[in-house]
Structure 1
């Protein structure tokens, strides 16, 4: 029996594997290819090493950004095990792909591609309903290989053991209190943004008042005419968040990032943003109004390369200006910077001190 037949393809070039526990079928299919895999899998939970075996000769691209690690989406300890085994591990922030290319391992074992929704996580393995396509189409293999290699180049050099061990200090810092690690090793990716939105649990309903551990200052000076897709998601999310209720003290605010992908703002779902109401040209004065911190509840990329960020903002009892922000940073002996993620506790505390709710 050829390997293509063992993949269930027979005389076809592709087939679909769907439902719960898709890794029960994928893991055995990949077991003999542990040294020939080129993969991009956005989030790697603590069970990732059990779902796919990687050895020297293979490489994997993941999202090992600080925000993904703090959310518990990517477990640095699994990356460390792979690196120790000689695997090339790369990090590309904003990656959301799940694509595994198993290169040829001899004449009887031709190359094949797996692409779909499943992350390397306990939830994807045992709880979530996933779907993937398995194919040996030469055109698909060539296109996937080209994209994967391009992502490796964008990611830069492989992560080192020292780098992933340092990331371990951040692992799970932003996960909801009271939930077990096994329940949320992939919280960041376990549901679509709308499924994770406030309204289903007490913790979620107060998301905009949770104390952030990271803050990003962003100028919001550009006015734009939102396309219909952006309006659709705004209305949908507003309804789910309760922002469209007449008695609501919160609003869903949408802004656009028109930067090229490599220069995009360091945004991710769950990150907190402080919006500064700059002029159309981006000018900021002492009197410029500053919005309270709000979590990113959704990111939408359109076909023209624009990215739309949806912030859930809750009214504050205090009006804050740019002069207040500048004064807060003067106490630290520095000036505030736009488009920079602040993780340092002293900087976060200084900013949050401007809003009594925090």
Structure 2
């Protein structure tokens, strides 16, 4: 790997600065598991850009005041511990330091808290790999952990999750998972006679949940055509009407304006689901994201850029490989899973969407990660076998762990949806 990976060249340190330093930090840490961190503020979205897993360790302020103020989110800490991370509490902590052990080992020291970046807040983080500096940080981490004592237990953090609530955020979409029963009646589903009903549909969340922490039994899968039922062109189906999972008022959410839909530079194949029921918190996030990112046609007011919600049940078996974390700004092709580990030939394929946000609900069993994608409603759904056959013609097998980045492969995948127009080539 060497210094070239850290972009240090012949230097031993460089500065990362700007309003979104976590994007670069996340890329630097992506291949590392042996991470030691000491962070003063751990917000509710920290796992989105700092997805720690064992044998990582982290020192935080997990005191009563930190929980009550929302400075430290116990739900994030609980999720980390359940992935084998040792979490220590040191109320006197006021550090923002990360040590990545590997080849090469390096440290990050700066101003950035583990919270979602604010557009107008300029941050600065120093990256260094000088051996003496790395050793000094290693010694400081050991000292802080010794002062903290034993790592926090699952029982302690579970109790903290139930007791504490972060302070009310500025943006409603950033609220914590609510643990209250939802007694609202299921709203009627609106119909749209102007758009034909699709021939095949993926399973959708049914109604509203009885409780946020409860996952309902899967809906009965719809009948879909077999792999030999029709040629590729006939296997396409009309784009599903965007699901109204919240209320009739949700149909009015979104701005009317110009449609800016950039062409993806790389694409992931994302096995995701919409089988079962979404939590109340997840539905609220969807509503607020639609308010911000849905764009309606200037001609008829229909949504052209929509926000859709998918999810994935997280792996719970010891030693099992965790799924890919799709980060904000990445483009993914959702493959709608229905109770299978891998897509079947009739699994439904949606057009590429851009990840706007994700979060993991650790109160669900198993934990569930929700992904919110901005999509173009002009894109039709189709059978997964069409994509599989296309990749076979390119000498490729479907990959669910790595992005397709070569231009001719990206173009071939995008050409499955010729009905989608892009604002530019980049």
Q: TM-score normalised to the size of structure 2?
A: 0.39
Q: TM-score normalised to the size of structure 1?
A: 0.47
